[in-house]
Structure 1
Amino acid sequence: MSAPTALDSPPAAPLGAVGWLRFLWRRLTSMSTALVLLFLLALAAVPGSVFPQRSVNPLQVKAYLEANPTLGPVLDRLGMFDVFAAPWFAAVYLLLFVSLVGCVVPRLVSYAKALRTPPPPAPRVLSRLQQPHLLTAAMPAEQAAPRVLAAARAQLARRRWRLRDGTDAAGGGAWLAAEKGYLREAGNLLFHTALLVILLGVSWGALWGWKGNVIVREGDGFANLLTQYDAWGGGRLADPSRLVPFSFTLDRFTADFERGEAQHGAPRVFEADVTYRAEPGGAERSQTIEVNEPLQVDGAKVFLVGHGYAVHVRIVGADGKVTFDDAVPFLPQDGNFTSTGVVKAYDADPGIGLQGIFLPTAALDAVRGPYSTFPAADDPAVFFSAWRGDLGIDDGVPQSVYTLKTDAMQQVGLRALRPGESWQLPDGLGTVEFVGVTRWASFSIAYDPGKQLALAAAATAIGGLCLSLFVRRRRLWVRVRDDAEGATVIEVAGLARSEQAGLADEVGDVVRAVSAAVTAVPRASVVPKEN
């Protein structure tokens, strides 16, 4: 009967549900999977830089959707305008968190055990290690050993090596083992632990933090209430009724632009002077908000993110009654601040709506039509298209203040106006006056309680990465023994995970220290290290 072969062996038993779960957990908590998930998280964050985000500037999202009526809704359904709150981003985020926990926790336990473990005893053949040295001493080994090991211990202790001494079991001599570089693994673990803390900090901010956007005209104020925001979004655990109770008034907005040929029209000054109160009834304080220099009140930050022009329009009916008198923010459409906006006179009978194009420095072209040649209001003008009819206020359907639905309206005329000019509407509808222009500023107000934690963890991660890159793990041994001829032999050798500059110097320092302690000399027949 022939012996069984590998082909005759029974098939492996199926893993089963528990086996598959164990296999998937090991794959998920492997370092390779964590690296892949970290790459995927970075890749998933790219659309947040490519497409405008609602949490940062909802006006840009609106403009993108209007400019891309086919592609825009598809991207919106995929969450491209709110990337960091999208389910697919959260899935990658959570998987990375679980993977890092599964990687780091077992390694922390192993590292804690390694810290309590003394350096390994001296190998039997030190000549096979790196930087081997063989010395002979002119005194018996019993007398030389205490001096040699004491000299080596003193030399290594000054440089904070972990030390351990002992004797060979077979009477082969006394030895000293030294080890250094545990901070390398500590830095590696610190880096990965800091990544976990960064994820926790970001999660903390995403759950309890909030962010909103508001447009404030010069001379107007803002109170940090939910109803004051143009757009507001908060985490699942954020409470809108407990917002930081500050308020501010936009006293003045200043914007200046480059007038030279180089970078013509580029912004040079971009700042908002505000007066704010940290709480109702509190003392007034003044501050200038600039780009990357926000106003900070009790953890909330007010960022200056945009600006534009507000067109002041007055509409007077045929009976002399003022049906509209206010400055309406117009939204910029290009770098020269060609802006569009809508004026709705709900009190007029019938209702009057104006679609307008505001030009800070107006020019007219036969092909392009009206356009602005410079972003500053050097020669302002506004082009109005007037409509009469039902403004849809009684439909119960929310409307955007920046659009005019003309389905149930009739166009009554077109006119260009300069500041101070008036337009007599036909059919006795009244008069439209372009009173003037003021500025508005757009503010992004955010509260992120986890940002400081994430920042501290990021700094810690950099420190841990430096430790793991620059700290060298190495070991060193010294042995004193009698050789076959009865001579006292001193062996010194080291070991590093790579051929690193510095190990030879450290071994050489020990050799010199022990040589001086017992007047040892190099032995002629040094056994070279085996490759």
Structure 2
Amino acid sequence: MKSTENTGKPSAKSTKKSFLKGVYDSLASVTLAIFLLIILAMTSIVGTVVLQNGSPEQYLNEYGSGTYRLFQALALDDMYRSWWFLTLLALLLINITLCSIKRFPRAWRLMTRSPSVLDDVLFRRMRFRGSVRRGVSPEETEERVRDLLADRFGKFREDRSEEAVTFFVDRGWYGRMGAYVVHLSILMLAVGAVYGGAVGFKGFVSIAEGQTINRVPLRGRNAVIKLPFDIRCDDFQVIYYPGTQQPKDYFSDLVVIRDGKEVMKKRIEVNHPLIVDGIYFYQSSYGVDRSSTVTLDVLDPSGKVAAPSVTVAAGQPFNVIGDSATYGIQQIMPSYIGGRPAVRMSRIASGARQDFFVSMAAADRDKLRGGPVYFRIRDANIREFTGLQVAWDPGVPLVWIACFVMIGGLYVAFFVPHRRVWLRIELDPDNTAVLMAGSTNRNLASFEKEFNGALTALKQVLKKDPGKE
């Protein structure tokens, strides 16, 4: 007969089972949830500080080329769509789901299967408990206890046996569902966000004053979406803080055109978008359109005309008679000194570059630069553009529903405690003990005060009536 020898080594099957259980317990742990929430909160702060989904020009102007390259490498310019942020969110959702699956059965048992009979074992387990000696008959005790419970706790259940009768109050049982409702709302938020990201779109478009568009280039994708209507920019304005070039406010006058007819007009500004068919048009940026031109007079140091005037656009090099250098306009500024236009120019001669400003408000200031010629702005045909972020997110309604569900779940979780009270009356005339016990899952101090008040009231109502034997 063969004998089996127990080597004491775990089998491969049990090792695999133990490993999977360890992974499951780790993913369902509260510690992981707290860690993920802290990391997500910290990264969200970064996402709030760092401009999201801006144009390359915005990042280069605000942060510089080196920082912009770092942002692109770490996906900080579109952080909420980056692979690492979505991975953290996915881990959090898995954690929330497994936590709920692991802990919900116990919560459900506490809600639906609370013992309605107060026996000696249950009485000793309760943190809040007390006993009273009745001075009246069991029948009279039952009547008075019913009145007391109805006044103090409202509805109650009754469980009767040959030896005793137990009154059971089960109040706020649904409060235990609060955490799971919050978990459900988080999952709804995630589903709404994923659905909106997969089906919806985000894009950026520049519209010059007077221009009409119906196509929007999409962000992060080499694609363009055609709108079911046209958008025209009638006007764009920037208001600066007095004496500075810092914008105080900027806004665009937009017109919606459908089937050749103007159907809507709206002035939009930051945080006040235009909404058409669920598509949002946010005021995002602004600038000078490439079609803008400046006409410059070319003068010699004595102030006489040295060469014919030139009309040039930004980035367009040009030469003038009497000077071998190459000139160019680097930037056109619609409002500079005194709200009048100016240009930032460059002069390149023998490989050396010189930058300087020419302002309409200071006509001959460029003369101080020296050189064979200087410039004066005769006219500026400036056409500004408005930069619009365009977004359509069909998951927004579900996100809003999830927010309301979350608010309801948080209220229930924090302000609806599950409170249970048992009161047992012995039916044996010789046993005058009346036992009372209670439990709550939160706000112990408040329940202790309520329980002790009910216990004191019970002692009063069960006193022997004066004059009765």
TM over 0.5: yes
Measured in 2, the distance between the counterparts of 1:509 and 1:414 equals 86
Give the deviation of 1:89 after TM superposition: 1.7
Give the deviation of 1:302 after TM superposition: 0.4
2:157 is the alignment partner of 1:164: yes
Within-5 A mapping of 1:58-97: 58-63=56-61, 67-69=64-66, 71-97=67-93
Change (3 A) 1:266 1:60: closer
Measured in 1, the distance between the counterparts of 2:90 and 2:459 equals 59
SS of structure 1 residue aligned to 2:51:
coil
Change (3 A) 1:122 1:344: farther
Q: How many residues align?
A: 424
Give the deviation of 1:354 after TM superposition: 3.7
Measured in 1, the distance between the counterparts of 2:342 and 2:213 equals 29
Unaligned runs of 5+ in 1: 1-7, 317-323, 329-340, 346-351, 363-373, 389-408, 422-431, 524-531
2:241 is the alignment partner of 1:258: yes
SS of structure 2 residue aligned to 1:21:
helix
Measured in 2, the distance between the counterparts of 1:85 and 1:124 equals 59
2:162 is the alignment partner of 1:175: no
Q: Is the CA contact 1:419–1:436 (under 8 Å) kept in the aligned structure 2? A: no
Within-5 A mapping of 1:102-501: 102-124=98-120, 126=123, 129-130=127-128, 132-139=130-137, 141=138, 143-144=139-140, 146-148=142-144, 150-152=146-148, 154-155=150-151, 158=154, 161=155, 163-167=156-160, 172-223=163-214, 225-226=215-216, 229=217, 232-233=219-220, 241=225, 243-259=226-242, 267-277=247-257, 279-310=258-289, 312-313=292-293, 341-343=314-316, 354-360=328-334, 362=336, 378-385=339-346, 434-481=379-426, 486=430, 488-497=432-441, 499-501=444-446
SS of structure 2 residue aligned to 1:138:
coil
Q: Which amino acid aligns with 1:248?
A: I
Measured in 2, the distance between the counterparts of 1:234 and 1:105 equals 38
Q: Is the CA contact 2:240–2:247 (under 8 Å) kept in the aligned structure 1? A: yes
Q: Which amino acid aligns with 2:434?
A: I
Unaligned runs of 5+ in 2: 1-5, 297-309, 319-325, 364-376
SS of structure 2 residue aligned to 1:490:
strand
Q: Is the CA contact 1:314–1:325 (under 8 Å) kept in the aligned structure 2? A: yes
Change (3 A) 1:40 1:13: farther
Give the deviation of 1:269 after TM superposition: 3.9
Change (3 A) 1:175 1:73: same
SS of structure 2 residue aligned to 1:500:
helix
SS of structure 2 residue aligned to 1:486:
coil
Q: Which moved more, 1:204-213 or 1:287-296?
A: 204-213
Measured in 2, the distance between the counterparts of 1:190 and 1:344 equals 65
SS of structure 1 residue aligned to 2:77:
coil
**Identical aligned residues as a percent:** 19
Q: Which of residues 449, 462, 469 in structure 2 aligns to 1:520?
A: 462
Root-mean-square deviation (CA, aligned residues, Å) is 4.2
Give the deviation of 1:300 after TM superposition: 0.8
Give 1 or 2: higher helix fraction. 2
Q: Which amino acid aligns with 1:17?
A: K
SS of structure 1 residue aligned to 2:76:
coil
Change (3 A) 1:511 1:148: farther
Q: Which amino acid aligns with 1:494?
A: G
Give the deviation of 1:35 after TM superposition: 2.5
Give the deviation of 1:476 after TM superposition: 0.8
TM-score for both structures, normalised by structure 1 = 0.67
Change (3 A) 1:300 1:110: farther
Measured in 1, the distance between the counterparts of 2:232 and 2:116 equals 70
TM-score for both structures, normalised by structure 2 = 0.75
Q: Is the CA contact 2:129–2:435 (under 8 Å) kept in the aligned structure 1? A: no
Measured in 2, the distance between the counterparts of 1:414 and 1:11 equals 80
Q: Which amino acid aligns with 1:154?
A: A
Change (3 A) 1:191 1:220: same
SS of structure 2 residue aligned to 1:477:
strand
Q: Is the CA contact 1:137–1:488 (under 8 Å) kept in the aligned structure 2? A: yes
Change (3 A) 1:268 1:433: closer
Q: Is the CA contact 1:132–1:494 (under 8 Å) kept in the aligned structure 2? A: no
Q: Which amino acid aligns with 1:202?
A: A
Q: Which amino acid aligns with 1:486?
A: D
Give the deviation of 1:477 after TM superposition: 1.2
Q: Which amino acid aligns with 1:68?
A: S
Change (3 A) 1:218 1:410: farther
Measured in 2, the distance between the counterparts of 1:356 and 1:265 equals 17
